[in-house]
Chains A and B, each alone.
Chain A
Amino acid sequence: MTALGGDILKGNTLTLILSLLEEQPMYGFQISREIERRSQGTLRFREGLLYPALHQLEREGLVEAEWQSSSQGPRRKYYQLTSRGKREAEKQRKRWLAFSGAVNRVLGGRPIG
């Protein structure tokens, strides 16, 4: 499958992060690998660009961060959703489903490829 990144991810990175953090607290490296794994390698972005996005969410009070020591490897900064973040994640999910549903209807079920 073709890897997608750059412009097509623009505007959706924050939604992806919020959605993953709904399940459990994660650190940056883990988030980037989860996005890649769940999209089966389709969604790829420069990993360093994840951090401005995470810091933005933290500034907006949607996530909070905490350093945790690891028995193996370096210390890691875990992010988890705040109550505002949970509401925002739900809102973003509904927005995405409405958008993707509309695009699918426009494309009219024509076969891909």
Chain B
Amino acid sequence: MASVETYLDRVCRGLRVNPAEAEDIREELRSHLTSAIEECAARSTGQRDAVDLAIASFGDPGTIHERLDRVHQGDAWWLRRLRGMGLGMLVGGLLSLALSAGGALGLITHLLPFADTAEMARAPVVMNGAAAGGVIGLLAAGGRGVLAGWSAGAVLWLAESVVYWLARAGGGSEPASSMLEMVLLAPLFGGVFGAAVGAACAAVLSAASHIRPRIE
């Protein structure tokens, strides 16, 4: 069966899928070839000829590889996460830009930690939103967009708030909110921002997976 495995190597090597999925595809093709070889061998051809016939009927490995790759493109976990991160950065950046452009500066102070009204300029707000969105998108790409977004948003908001609070307290200026308020508000404000970004990322990624080129 050495030539079957060599043939399968040519079909499956380099497919942009997770290792488990690659093994699943390989086993399915191997199962087909095994049945085909048994069928050919039963027609009184020798084992060697049966293998050759089955492989010839299966088709050109390069063409099958290309079509499988086209169907499964983007299934690799790292590619999905990378896309999610880019998308999250875009959505997070646009969301904070829209809020600041809309004059919702007070709201941004709550939604985006580090966005201190006293020092706020649009560029750092957008960068902060994009960075937070990137992390949220990265997590949302693994599925459960709203839940992952809400959790990540809340944790990020809390972490940034603690840093902000410590920096203000250490610098001798009075923080705008108490630490307790920040802890209590994190699930609400950070969570809302995260859930919005996560839901948008999940929706776009899901829609994109349905508009790939179709195999006819």
Interface residues of A (CB under 8 A from B): 10-14, 27-29, 32, 46-49, 51-53, 55-56, 59-60, 73-77
The minimal Cβ–Cβ distance linking B175 to chain A, given in whole angstroms, is: 50
Minimum CB distance partner of B11 in chain A: A48
Q: How many CB-defined contacts (below 8 Å) exist between A and B?
A: 77
Known: A48-B29, A51-B68, A73-B31. 18 other contacts (CB 8 A): A10-B216, A11-B216, A29-B36, A32-B32, A46-B57, A46-B58, A46-B59, A46-B60, A47-B32, A48-B32, A51-B25, A51-B28, A55-B25, A59-B209, A60-B210, A74-B27, A74-B35, A77-B31
Pick from B27, B36, B209, B215 the residue with the most CB of A within 10 Å. Answer: B215
Minimum CB distance partner of A32 in chain B: B32
Minimum CB distance partner of A70 in chain B: B31
Q: Is the CB of B71 within 8 A of A55?
A: yes
Give complex CA distance A46, B67 in Å. 13
| B-side interface size class | 20 to 34
Q: Is the CB of B216 within 8 A of A13?
A: yes
Q: Which residues of A contact B30 (CB under 8 A)?
A: 74
List B residues 15-41 near A (Cβ within 8 Å): 25, 27-32, 34-36, 38
Q: Is the CB of B28 within 8 A of A47?
A: no
Q: Is the CB of A56 within 8 A of B71?
A: yes
Q: Mark B38-60, 1 if CB is under 8 A from A, else 0.
A: 10000000000000000001111
Q: Which residues of A contact B36 (CB under 8 A)?
A: 29, 47
